[in-house]
Every structure is written in structure tokens, then in C-alpha cells.
Amino acid sequence: MAYEAFDAGIEPGGLRDINEIKILICYLLKNAGAPLSFESINEIIQKDGLANYFEFAQSIKELVDLGNVELTKNNDMDYYTVTKLGVGMANTFERRLPLAVREKAVKAAIRLIARIKIEAENKVTITQTEHGFTAECRVLDGNDEMLSIRLLLPERVQAEAVKRQFHDNPELIYKATLSLMTGDMSFVKEIIDKKI
């Protein structure tokens, strides 16, 4: 079988046929349950080596041109949603995709959507100052700010590390801070005992 796609970046079991890549994109958008940006879809596909970047980019453009995927704008960002035609294509041809590819794609989409939600509810702002960088971390509950921590760090790389760590587990940071500030050390002891 002659493959249409380049092999660069494709893991074993990944897709090399451009039609399968199109099916994967429609299947992914159908199962994501939310519009996704180009960058988000690309991250899902590239992280697990499901398809080559160039073939992915060509496929999504062709899907928009054919009416299988719709491009919309929200807050000056482009988002893709699957159309009724694209859902029909995904439903009809998804069995052409290996089960492992389908499972990886859906799991990656769920993780990505969860991370986007966490980042929307837990803001980190990095600002350069004359003394280094500040990382302001905030836990929000709707419009209510539940926690705000501002750290002064000497270098941007440290501020970015704080941002990643905060987004990895804002609930743990909130609970640990609350435990320390109220003097109820039971949660902090639990963390130390479990070595979380």
C-alpha cells in the first residue's frame, strides 16, 4: 500500500493515509464535545504521533473546504467544529481507524479540554519587573477569587515553572494553603505522608 503522508513525527500505528487523517479529525471533533482550536487539535494529534503535521494541516483545510468542518471565531480565535456532514463521515468510516488511534485521540482530547478548563478557572499572570518576574496565581470560582498568591522570582524560567505547577494541581495548592493559613495541619501532614 502506498502512503500519501510523510512519515516524520508518526509513531508506529499512526495514520499515513490522508483520508484516514480526515476521518480522525472529524471523529475527534465529534467526540470532543467542544469546539477546538487548530493548535489544540494539532497538539492532540502530534503528542501521540497520530499523523504528520503537514498532512494534518492539509486535511483540516480540505475538511473546511468540503463542509465537513466549520471554522468559527470566538474572542479573535479560530475554532473548529464538526458539521452534520462531518459527523456522518465519522460515523460511517470511524472503523477504518485503528482502535488504538481512536482511543488515544479521545483520551488526549478529554485531557486537553480539562486542562483548558483548569487554566480558565485558575489564572496565572507572569509580569516582568525591575527585580525579576512576578507570577500571580489565582483560583477563581466564577467571579469570586478564592485564592491569590503573588511570587517574585529572579528568572522567567522559574515563573513558567510556577505556572505549570499551579495549573497541574490548583486544588492541592489551594487546600495546602488553606490548611497552613488556618493552622489545621491535617491536610499538610497527609500530603507529607503520601509524598504527593
Long-range contacts of 163-169 (CB under 8 A, 24+ apart): 163/124, 163/126, 163/135, 163/137, 166/122, 166/124, 166/135, 166/137, 167/115, 167/118, 167/119, 167/122, 167/124
**What are the 10-residue block averages of pLDDT along the chain, 196 residues in total?**
50 71 90 86 84 89 94 86 92 84 82 80 91 92 87 94 89 86 80 66
- DSSP bridge partners of 73: 78
Predicted pLDDT at 114:
80
Q: What is the CATH number of the domain that holds 56?
A: 1.10.10.10
For a pLDDT cut of 90, what percent of the chain falls above it? 32
Contact 94, 146 (CB under 8 A): no
What's the structural domain count of the chain? 2
pTM for the full model? 0.63
Residue 65 sits in the same domain as residue 154: no
User: Is residue 80, in this structure, part of any structural domain at all?
Assistant: yes
For a pLDDT cut of 70, what percent of the chain falls above it? 91
pLDDT tens-digit map of 169-185 = 888 888 888 888 888 88
User: Is residue 183, in this structure, part of any structural domain at all?
Assistant: yes
- Per the structure, the complete domain to which residue 158 belongs is given by 130-194
Across the chain, what does the average pLDDT equal?
84
Residue 92 sits in the same domain as residue 141: no
